[in-house]
Amino acid sequence: MQKDFLPISQEDMKKRGWHELDFVIVTADAYVDHPSFGTAIISRVLEAAGFKVGIIAQPNWKNTDDFMKLGKPRLAFLVNGGNMDSMVNHYTVSKKLRERDFYSPGGKMGHRPDRATIVYCNRLREAYKNIDIIIGGIEASLRRFAHYDYWSDRVRKSILIDSGADLLVYGMSEKQIVEIAEALNNGLQAKYIRYINGTCYVADSKEEVYDYIPIPSYKQVSEDKIKYAEAFKIQYEEQDPIRGKTILQEHNGKYLVQNKPEMPLNREELDKVYQLPYMKNYHPVYEKDGGIPAIEEVKFSLVSARGCFGSCSFCALTFHQGRIVQSRSEGAIIQEAEEITALPDFKGYIHDLGGPTANFRNPACKKQLKHGACKTKQCLSPQPCKEMDIDHLEYLGILRKLREIPKVKKVFVRSGLRYDYIMADKDDRFLKELLEHHVSGQLKVAPEHVDHEVLRHMGKPAGKTFDKFCEKFDRINERLGKKQYIIPYLMSSHPGSTIQSAIRLAEYLRDIHYQPEQVQDFYPTPGTLSTTMYYTGLDPLTMKSVYVPKSRSEKAMQRALLQYRDPKKYDLIYEALHTAGREDLIGYGEKCLIRPKAQRTLEKRKSNNSKQEKYKISEKKFSAKGKSQKSAVQRKHKKK
């Protein structure tokens, strides 16, 4: 059969000669058949295992009609909230509705509900009383335990309980979904599939579960922040496929059970996943609406690896992809790149070769694959572990081969790079070639902050690591004869950040003569260590208290300090400096951040006068031009 999109309608099913589907995937994203989209991967993995799969993308959730358009599947409905948590997709950190949804037709909002996974499961139960429902994807994965929900500002139950689904699959899920499909095909109901790693189920009694670690119940964690922190610590420490244990959490007489994580795919298995027959585009049905914006950055990009041992506290990767890095083979990557160059709209530019962290290709050390990731130590924080294998040459070799492919003009690296890992490498060849061939004037890295206490809570490198990286960056560019710049990503209001911390960051930006155009305010999303700090005021790994900026006024001040040169932020910065007792930074000296209020008033008055003067001049010009045109018309009339 010719390569094609999977069925989205009864007509599509008839073309394939299918009267019934084995699985129907209901997703909150538009249907994009590209391996950067979870729905595409799971559907193609199931197809390769011999199952018939259809897609219901962004159904109208206000009734059951769309949920029934492909009929009742033989085995189960698979439900996901899309590539992003639906609440993060909908709302900014200030809880305002976003203007665009990059995973919807034309980038328009309104194609998915809040808490999409729960809403879709409810509609499916209305449409079909007796059907197995399995949930997965990022939304389900990060909400699998009782969790703090920033948008409602309360602790919610496990999404498996709230959705009424029969089984939850967490992590990347390729292995689990095939095992589940085979079990269902053999006649087992989803709610009784309890033996597969990387899944969660609900038990009626503790006696049904063996060899588990109990954590504080939903009731306890919703009433006691210390209990919440204790529960999270166990969840965090057991997210390892080698040494992790089964975890049990009571929910009002029922028991949420998480089996230990599934082992990550090996290189051969990962290659097979990315070599499946993806169409590498959005479904043609969206063409009339302007397509799906999310495809633009990934269509000509290549995935090199999965997983991350960077373990930033505000990132959920530890809970989803895990700390063990898995990578694709050089041959598979080169083959996909050659296929990309054959696409009709390829312009010669590969947009990225990366993953969660572009310069990670292998597990952090040899011990990880035998004993698992360290339970109480991080690989890079507060400094690189002595056991860590540091090597960029394999990744560099792939970049070199990509540059040699006919039709390829340039290969960019746009995924995040760990600059501390680069600095730990004594061999500078990677950084030299990165700057020479794979950066177009700007290199984006994420120091996030400069204050030692904030960086410690972020799990980011402290000390002078970033400064030393900047110095090396400048030295290499000078030798190359290039003018290139570092664009640092910075975060305000992270747990541990006080007004004094934000001022220290502002002073640093003053000293390096840089003002960021955009600043990310910390966003408490489900499943992260930082979110637990935000909610509880405790570092769950040490149980020590953490300062958390929560009030709107303080968060606004901390954010404004990072853009202290912006005139619109003057009042906030003035208030912040007075609050912190740092009036020494208000004045005329070169170390001052802002001018005194009297001078500020004078400058504003001059600015307003200047604007009025310009307005008067332009008004005179307009008037003169009008008179000139009127005179010309009168002369012409007289001649007639």
Tally of CB atoms within 10 A around 207: 8
Residue 498 bridge partners (DSSP) = none
> Are 36 and 84 within 8 A, CB to CB?
no
With 50 as the cut, is the pLDDT of residue 123 above it? yes
The residue-averaged pLDDT of 29-40 equals 97
pLDDT tier for residue 291 given thresholds of 50, 70 and 90: very high
What does the pLDDT average to over 45-74? Answer: 98
Q: Do domains 10-196 and 441-621 have the same CATH topology?
A: no
User: What Å distances lie between residue 249 and 142, 254, 256, CA to CA?
Assistant: 15, 9, 5
Which tokens sit at 41? Answer: 């991967």
> What string of DSSP letters covers 457-504?
HHT---TTHHHHHHHHHHHHHHHHT---EEEEEEEES-TT--HHHHHH
Condensed to tens digits (0 to 9), the pLDDT of residues 476-521 reads 999 999 999 999 999 999 999 999 999 999 999 999 999 898 889 9
Q: What does the H/E/C string look like for 105-117?
A: HHHCCCCCCCCHH
Q: Is the pLDDT reported for residue 177 higher than 70?
A: yes
| Rounded Cα–Cα distance for residues 260 and 35 (Å) | 25
Q: What is the length of the chain? A: 640
Share of the chain above pLDDT 90, in %: 88
Helix intervals (H) in 276-428: 295-298, 317-320, 330-341, 366-371, 393-403, 419-424
**Cβ(468)–Cβ(420) below 8 Å:** no
pLDDT at 129 over 70: yes
Task: Assign 162 a pLDDT band (cuts: 50, 70, 90).
Answer: very high
Extract the tokens encoding 263.
Answer: 């082992």
Nearest to 275 by CA among 231, 331, 318: 331
> Cα–Cα distances in Å, from 372 out to 68, 311, 486, 630?
44, 15, 35, 85
8 A C-beta contact, residue 143 and residue 80: no
pLDDT at 394: 96
Q: How far is CA 557 from CA 259, 399, 402, 492, in A?
A: 44, 43, 46, 9
d(CA 201, CA 557): 44
414 touches 459 (CB < 8 A): no
pLDDT at 296: 94
Q: Which fold has domain 10-196?
A: Rossmann fold (3.40.50)
Taking the CA atoms of 428, 430, 431 and 437 in sequence, report the sign of the dihedral they define: positive
pTM over 0.85: yes
Q: For position 463, what pLDDT does the model report?
A: 81
3-state secondary structure 156-188: ECCHHHHHCCCEEECCCCHHHHHHHHHHHHCCC
Pairing of strands 212-215, 246-251: parallel
Q: How many helices (H) and strands (E) does the chain have?
A: 24, 24
C-alpha distance from residue 328 to each of 271, 303, 587 (Å): 6, 8, 56
Nearest CA among 401, 296, 304 for reference residue 351: 296
pLDDT at 613: 58
Q: What is the mean pLDDT of residues 273-290?
A: 97
Structure tokens at 354: 């990366």
CATH number of 441-621: 3.30.750.200
Range with the lowest mean pLDDT among 274-278, 408-412, 425-429, 616-620?
616-620
Say yes or no to pLDDT of 304 above 60: yes
Residue 80: other Cβ atoms inside 10 A = 27
Could you tell me which of 305, 303, 313, 308 has the C-alpha nearest to residue 324?
308
Q: What is the mean pLDDT of residues 212-239?
A: 97
Beta bridge partners of 78: 25, 134
Higher pLDDT, 615 or 278: 278
Q: Which CATH number fits domain 300-435: 3.40.50.720, 3.30.750.210, 3.40.50.1220, 3.40.80.10?
A: 3.30.750.210
314 in Cβ contact with 491 (< 8 Å): yes
Yes or no: say if 379 and 307 are a contact pair by the CB < 8 Å rule.
Answer: no
CA 609 – CA 427 distance, rounded (Å): 58
Q: Which residue has the higher pLDDT, 462 or 142?
A: 142
* Span 588-607, pLDDT tens digits: 999 999 999 866 655 555 55
Residue 633 has pLDDT above 90, yes or no: no
Concatenated DSSP letters of 61-127: TTSSTGGGTT---SSEEEEE--SS-HHHHHB-TTSPBPS--TTSGGG-S-SS-TTHHHHHHHHHHHH
β-bridge pairing 538-539 and 544-545:
antiparallel
**What DSSP element (H or E) covers 216?**
none
Per residue in 548-570, pLDDT tens? 999 999 999 999 999 999 999 99
DSSP bridge partners of 624: none
Q: Which amino acid is at 332?
A: A
Please state the domain extents for the chain: 10-196, 300-435, 441-621
* Confidence at 266, pLDDT banded by 50, 70, 90: very high
Q: Evaluate whether 231 touches 250 at the Cβ level (below 8 Å).
A: no
Residue 605: its pLDDT value, please?
55
pLDDT beyond 70 at 348: yes
